[in-house]
Structure 1
Amino acid sequence: MPKNDTSVDLCVYDKCNNRCLMCTNPDRPWPAWDNKTGYNWRDIIGRLKKFRDKIDSAESIYLSGGEPTIHPRFREIIKYLTEKFSGKKIKLLTNGRFFSYPQKAEEFLAMGDNLEIDVSLYGHDKKTHEAVTRAAGSFDQTMAGLSNLLKRKKPSQLIGARFVITRLSYQNIKPVLKLILDNFPTIDRLIVIFPEMEGQAIKNKKNVALTYAQVRPFINQIAELAPKFKEFRLYHFPLCTLDKKIWPYAWRTLPAKEIKFLPACNLCQVKNHCLGIHRGYLAHIGRDGFQPYKNKVATKSTGNPYQPLAEIEKSAQNQAKTKTKI
């Protein structure tokens, strides 16, 4: 795994107005950097001051939750960050509902040129999305929020979407891509994510957990649509779970402590480019279905440790995989 991550994660709030089935957070309350569970204004600013050196050495500050935007002093937190850490990219992971109010979207985007927002979407329609969020009205608000942000963004700002697959939505990966292309053609990025078996995902395993084998036929359908996005990424997919033609979209974003390579992975010619397997998958789903490529695969490297592969030669795309039971 890459070791030069230069983004600092700041949990802004432990509350959320969605109740997503696959949320990786534990039950509230959970501790922040300092092992304390407070998230009021004083707690947040205290952490930022305490970890000033760590933040100064990072390129960006990643705001997560819970849902950061429902913090009572969200606007003030953003103002503090843009003033005290000017030049840092501020990244926000949000369900987008806050931005369904046009004025809120406008006010937020006016607070800094170096903003990056990823809005979470969980299905191609209201029924599927809200079956995951368990929050009535959340689909329409998320769609409106994404629309408001895209209409008002500056060229220097990035607006993207994240789609976390679940058992309720995995057969509709292609329809999700179509939904976004049809409704948000100017979107800067789409990330499709295999769920991590942590926190609420374990408690809701019946509606969340799936195997890579189940997802494979549907994730491979993206080959036609992915190039139509300005940027398209796949998170948490070992290379052997994908067709070679979509390997260039596979990113490695999990910390080393959360992944594992099985013994047979040492036989694989593309191990150095591979994410590995999330430990939660091995613990709660199993270890079947991972097969090493013993024959050399002709690839072109990007030089980016997070997105290692630029392209796969057509001859390599047709190579048979050597199957080894792991």
Structure 2
Amino acid sequence: MSLPLHTHGQVQGVRDVGIFKVLTPEEAMTCGLPPQDVLLWNAEDDRYAGSVGSPQRETGRLSVSALRMPEVVQPGDVIRLREGSGQISVLFRRGSQANTLFVTERCNSRCLMCSQPPRDDDDSWRVDELLRLIPLIDKGEIQLGMSGGEPTLLGQDLRRLIVTCRMELPDTTLHILTNGRLFSDRALADALVGAAPEDVIWAVPLYGDVAAAHDAVVDAENAFVETLQGLHEIGRLKGRVELRVVLHRMTVDRLPELASFIYRRLPFVEHIALMGLEPMGFTKQNRDRLWIDPVDYIQPLGDAVFHLANRGMAVSIYNLPLCILPGPLRPFARQSISDWKNTFAPECTGCDLISHCSGFFASAGPAWRSRAVSPVKLQEALHEMA
């Protein structure tokens, strides 16, 4: 069952917006964080900012209690509290493999399957909030995402975030989702990619091997040319690139041609992710243009995967359950859906592969699931792999 990033409770003593690290008293004593940045887990101690889990005793003292879903907040998490609001938002979850810094809602593309439809509002306040959040993230975090909207629209503010992460989280790899178009500006590419070329993976979507195909999906003129120029700028700077291809009716027919294009034109790419559709945002509005049962594109998917893998390129399949993939493709499938979005269907009951499967997006009701979804028995799976 997916665990949400928000819950509600009784919040007292907050002024404006507070960003706090939730810690046990024992960890709080040794963490080295300023007391005003710490909320104690099930404790009340005047040396710290307040408590989580027990009601306040003193007027004006910060406390969070009576959580509607107590399991949402745990020690090690970083949470946001707002004055006058009972909402508790988890900005960092200890132990999650999907922690992501959301940097902006603005975007210069309008992808037909965008799960986070862009808004033109001024949300520059997010940068200051993230600069407060980053020092509170666990130092041992292996990877941290950044997403939007389009992060590169922040310009030098994105560089500030990257540099701050390098200082506060020197052992953490950043995984930044970007359409790559603004990297066609060499000065911006130098500033952003050059800030940490070895410590940032730039995850860039590419939806076709010809301009018309890519531009139609992202609903932006010249996007294909700008994206390719941007990718080559990242390559020039020895930056790390992951290509992402969302699988839907408009992209699947030319997957083999796209795979060939990637191998010939973008040999410096270190990973290619072929991704099942997430039914959120614009995807729901454009269902008739996008939806195709994954079992109906298994042939071009397999051709693309093996074209890349047989030539030494790292390739993965994201967001597709194991049961719909033939045996030879299953080793390429990953448990890729963020834990707070992840669920399984009733049809998964009794499946021997469920602990290794990506499952489904929580937003994917029966109308968005393949007709081929069914439980797999281990003996059957071994036979298909033979």
TM-score grouping bracket, smaller chain normalisation = 0.7 to 0.9
Q: SS of the residue aligned with 2:363?
A: helix
Contact 2:107 2:119 in 1 (8 A): no
Contact 2:324-2:370 at 8 Å conserved across structures: no
Cα deviation, 1:116-153, whole Å, max 9, x if unaligned, reads 11111112211110111110000001011111211221
Q: Residue 190 of structure 1: CA displacement?
A: 0.6
Secondary structure, in 3 states, of the residue corresponding to 1:296?
helix
CA shift for structure 1 position 28:
3.3
Distance in 1 separating the partners of 2:364 and 2:278: 7
Q: Which runs of 5+ in 1 are unaligned?
A: 30-36, 300-314, 319-326
Work out whether 1:83 is the aligned partner of 2:83.
no
Counterparts of 1:257 and 1:8 in 2: how far apart (Å)? 10
CA distance in 2, matches of 1:51, 1:102: 28
Q: Tell me the equivalent position of 1:5.
A: 96
What is the aligned counterpart of 1:150 among 210, 213, 235?
Answer: 235
1:108 aligns with 192
Is 1:16 the counterpart of 2:98? The answer is no
What amino acid sits opposite 1:195 in the alignment?
L
CA distance in 2, matches of 1:229, 1:148: 23
Deviates more, 1:262-271 or 1:195-204: 262-271
The root-mean-square deviation of aligned C-alpha atoms, in Å, is 2.6
The secondary structure found in structure 2 opposite 1:116 is strand
The structure 2 residue matched to 1:222, chosen from 300, 304, 317, is 304
Change (3 A) 1:38 1:51: farther
Deviation at 1:236, TM superposition (A): 0.4
Structure 2 regions of 5+ residues with no counterpart?
A: 3-93
Q: Which amino acid aligns with 1:161?
A: L
SS at match of 2:236: helix
> Structure 1's 84 and 52: CA in aligned 2 closer, same or farther, altered over 3 A?
closer
Q: Distance in 2 between matches of 1:60 and 1:274?
A: 21
Bigger helix share: 1
Q: Structure 1 length as normaliser, TM-score?
A: 0.80
Question: Partner of 2:225 in structure 1?
Answer: 140
Cα pair distance change 1:264/1:49, threshold 3 Å: same
Residue correspondences, number: 292
Counterpart of 1:99 in structure 2 is 183
**Bigger CA radius of gyration:** 2
Asked if the contact 1:100–1:145 (Cα under 8 Å) also holds between the matched residues in 2, the reply is yes
- State the secondary structure of the residue aligned to 2:253: helix
TM-score after normalising by structure 2: 0.69
> C-alpha deviations, 1:59-102, integer Å up to 9, x for none?
23311110000125333333333334333322211111111123
Matches within 5 A, 1:297-316: 297=380, 315-316=383-384
Query: Per chain length, whose mean CA-contact separation is higher, i.e. which structure has more relative contact order (CA < 8 Å, sep 6+)?
Result: 1
Q: Which amino acid aligns with 1:209?
A: W
Q: Taking structure 1 as reference, are residues 59 and 297 closer, same or farther at Cα in structure 2, changes over 3 Å only?
A: same
User: How much has 1:38 moved relative to structure 2?
Assistant: 6.3
